[in-house]
Chain A
């Protein structure tokens, strides 16, 4: 499950790299020429967000690319594991950064349960996420929840990998107005 998560996040990176290639083409050529003659130089690094100018700060895309919009659950569980809590801590920080943003937490399930039980389980998952964000200082007034049960899978497959990706809670920025 986690491996697939990382893969799916990584799969976004080449896209980002592609769109910024033309901007940085001359820079990287310079860097290569300079680097060749630099003896024992240290390499410094800095966090790189999404490509500048393409992502609106405080938007759904910003949340997806720079924070992570979803957390995953074990089978028939609404418990938040370490990875989920880390994602939600980033989401809480992000929500504090954009106090005008309100969100809906969508709870989802895999297809290996009955429709009605899954509607209840999805609500329990969404609420678990809401409770954690509230515990981290986000006002409950900014967070709504909805359960889709197993009605909106992220992955249409019928195997363990798909089920793991579908047992999720997704934080969705409300479009105001």
Chain B
């Protein structure tokens, strides 16, 4: 492939991909490098990520580590494939100027990431993204941060590369809240845990002495709400992430559970179960007013706001079995949207607004699926003994979920692209459930 122009390559690739019955993966929009990720399987784009240069050994070490995190992020998306560094011809120092593109065309790199660690503490990093076959700079960025936040700097670089090459915002500079599980099934110990999207910086927020479930991060990722089994009744509590301080919400009548923040972060949807009936309520965090949104003897739970805050999708058995319903944010205009066979649950509205993810039990298997907000175009992405708790990446391209293995009983987190490809396990120190993917960090 040496010396093949990008356009020729594109033609070859397009032919090969079309022959395989898959969607066109790489194309050149307005003469620029572009990866179309909106259709089916995408052939990963080969990309070179040079270790970042630095003037001191410490800076070089930092530059090496940053490049590794950028590579791991991009590879994990399934859309990119980092070319082995041993194939790189130019050294990091040689890459302080304009790259010799011919050297990078030889190893078939479509894109090249270069960088320089200018200062170590506080950290100052410059990076550039190059279109190797077009011979142009696609993006250049300087980032400043305390050196302790170096992984965030790397994630922001990966986000910038992802965004420039796919046209979609990234999702690497994010957190995942989840429930860490250990111990026997009949006396499971559960703790709220938070980690970076790639599993780094893992912390436990609770000590396991009380049963906790369903953590949800606020849109600005400053607070976390979850369910705790604390006498006299299980209830929703909220904490500040930075300080760990609990923000008292007050007493709800009955059992409160299934917390979800509104997109503006000002209120919390909760389910309240009382007298055998579960309804949805909105709790205003400033005024502490509790407003009932649903009525009737049915179970109404697992609410999720549309990103514009005007609608709520939720789970209800009012029609005889658990199905998905959409209503206006004030509780009016309820209509059912799931009409397929099986039992639906845990809807979560995509941050892009275009899809609703859900779990579904049908003929003995659980699925994670997506449908449009009007209920049309249902697609099932997974099938297993028990798949649950779908949660969206902030760009609405990837879904994180929990899978329980029937033989071992182990529960673990997986991610899958909404195309149904690139399923990956997200490693956690112990068993894991109830994932909640944050927005991009502010």
Asked whether A158 and B406 contact (CB < 8 A) given A114-B346, A115-B389, the answer is: yes
Q: How far is the CB of A110 from chain B (nearest CB, A)?
A: 11
> Which chain A positions have C-beta within 8 A of B234?
119, 146-147
A81 contacts partner chain B, Cβ-Cβ < 8 Å: no
A115 to B271, CA, bound (A): 13
Whether B211 and A151, one on each chain, are in contact in the complex, defined by CB atoms closer than 8 angstroms, is yes
A123 touching B278 in the complex, CB below 8 Å, given contacts A112-B361, A113-B322, A158-B385 = yes
Tell me which of B185, B227, B385, B409 has the highest count of chain A C-beta atoms within 10 A of its own C-beta: B185
Q: Are A156 and B255 in contact (CB under 8 A)?
A: no
CB < 8 Å neighbour of B276 from A124, A148, A149, A154 = A124
Chain A residues 86-141 with CB under 8 Å of chain B are: 111-117, 119-121, 123-124, 126-128, 131
List of B residues within 8 angstroms of A64 by Cβ: none
Fill in one digit per residue for A145-170: 1 if any B CB lies within 8 Å of its CB, else 0: 01111011111101000000000000
Nearest neighbor of A78 in chain B, beta-carbon distance = B276
Whether A116 and B315, one on each chain, are in contact in the complex, defined by CB atoms closer than 8 angstroms, is yes
Q: How many interface residues does chain B have, given as a range? A: 35 or more
Whether A119 pairs with B257 at a CB distance below 8 angstroms is yes
- Interface residue? B233 (CB, 8 A): yes
- The dominant DSSP class at the B interface is strand
Given A124-B277, A153-B185, CB of A117 within 8 Å of CB of B385: no
A123-B278, A151-B213 known; A116+B271 contact, CB < 8 A? yes
CA distance in complex: A96, B370 (Å):
53
Contacts of A147 in B (CB 8 A): 234, 255, 273
- For B385, list chain A residues within 8 Å (CB): 158
> Is residue A62 within 8 Å, beta carbon to beta carbon, of the partner chain?
no
Contact of A113 among B255, B361, B389 (CB under 8 A): B361
Q: Is B350 an interface residue (CB 8 A)?
A: no
A150 to B389, CA, bound (A): 14
Q: Is the CB of A123 within 8 A of B186?
A: no
Query: Quick one: which of B273, B343, B346 contacts A120, CB cutoff 8 A?
Result: B273
- Let me know if B258 is at the binding interface, CB within 8 A: yes
- Asked if B319 is at the interface (CB within 8 A of a chain A CB), the reply is no
Which of A78, A148, A151 lies at the interface centre, i.e. has the most chain B CB atoms within 10 A of its CB? A151
Query: Which of chain B's residues has its CB closest to A76's CB?
Result: B321
When distances are taken between beta carbons in the complex, the residues of chain B under 8 Å from A112 are: 361, 386
Known: A113-B361, A117-B299, A146-B234. A158 touches B345 (CB 8 A): no
Contact pattern, B 333-354, Cβ under 8 Å of A = 1, otherwise 0: 0000000000101100000000
* Neighbour of A117 across the interface among B187, B345, B404, B433, CB < 8 A: B345
Residues of B within 8 A of A152 (CB): 186-188
CB of B380, distance to nearest CB on chain A (Å):
16
Q: Chain A residues near B188: list those with CB within 8 A.
A: 151-152
B359 close to chain A: CB less than 8 A = yes
Contact residue among A117, A121, A146, A156 (Cβ-Cβ distance under 8 Å from B185): A156
Q: Which residues of A contact B233 (CB under 8 A)?
A: 146
Minimum CB distance partner of A127 in chain B: B276
Contacts of B404 in A (CB 8 A): 111
Q: Give bound CA distance, A155 to B185, whole Å.
A: 8
Q: How far is the CB of A154 from chain B (nearest CB, A)?
A: 7
Contacts of A144 in B (CB 8 A): 232
B58 to chain A, nearest CB (A): 46
**Cβ of B225 to closest chain A Cβ, rounded Å:** 13
Q: Complex formed: what's the CA distance from A144 to B278 in Å?
A: 17
The reply to whether A114 and B302 form a contact with Cβ atoms under 8 Å apart is yes
Residue from the list B299, B321, B389 in contact with A124, Cβ < 8 A: B299
- Kindly identify, within residues 348 to 384 of chain B, every residue whose CB is under 8 Å from any CB belonging to chain A: 359, 361
**Chain B minimum-CB-distance residue to A121:** B299
B184 at the interface (CB under 8 A from A): yes
* B301 close to A (CB within 8 Å): yes
Complexed CA–CA distance, A100 and B315 (Å): 41
B-side contacts of A149, CB under 8 Å: 213
A115 close to B388 (CB less than 8 A): yes
Query: Measured between C-beta atoms, what is the minimum distance from B331 to chain A in Å?
Result: 18
**Residue from B190, B232, B273, B278 having most chain A Cβ neighbours under 10 A:** B273
Q: How far is the CA of A64 from the CA of B254 in the complex (A)?
A: 27
Q: Indicate whether B436 reaches chain A with its CB closer than 8 angstroms.
A: no
Q: Is the CB of A114 within 8 A of B409?
A: no
Inter-chain CA distance A151–B187, complex, in Å, is 8
Closest 3 CB pairs of A and B: A127-B276, A114-B345, A120-B278
Known: A114-B315, A153-B185. 15 other contacts (CB 8 A): A76-B317, A76-B321, A113-B361, A114-B359, A116-B345, A117-B346, A119-B301, A120-B273, A121-B299, A123-B255, A146-B234, A147-B234, A151-B213, A155-B186, A156-B186
- Sample of 18 A–B contacts (CB below 8 Å): A112-B386, A113-B345, A114-B389, A115-B214, A115-B389, A116-B271, A116-B345, A119-B234, A119-B258, A126-B276, A131-B276, A146-B255, A147-B273, A151-B188, A151-B211, A151-B213, A154-B186, A158-B385
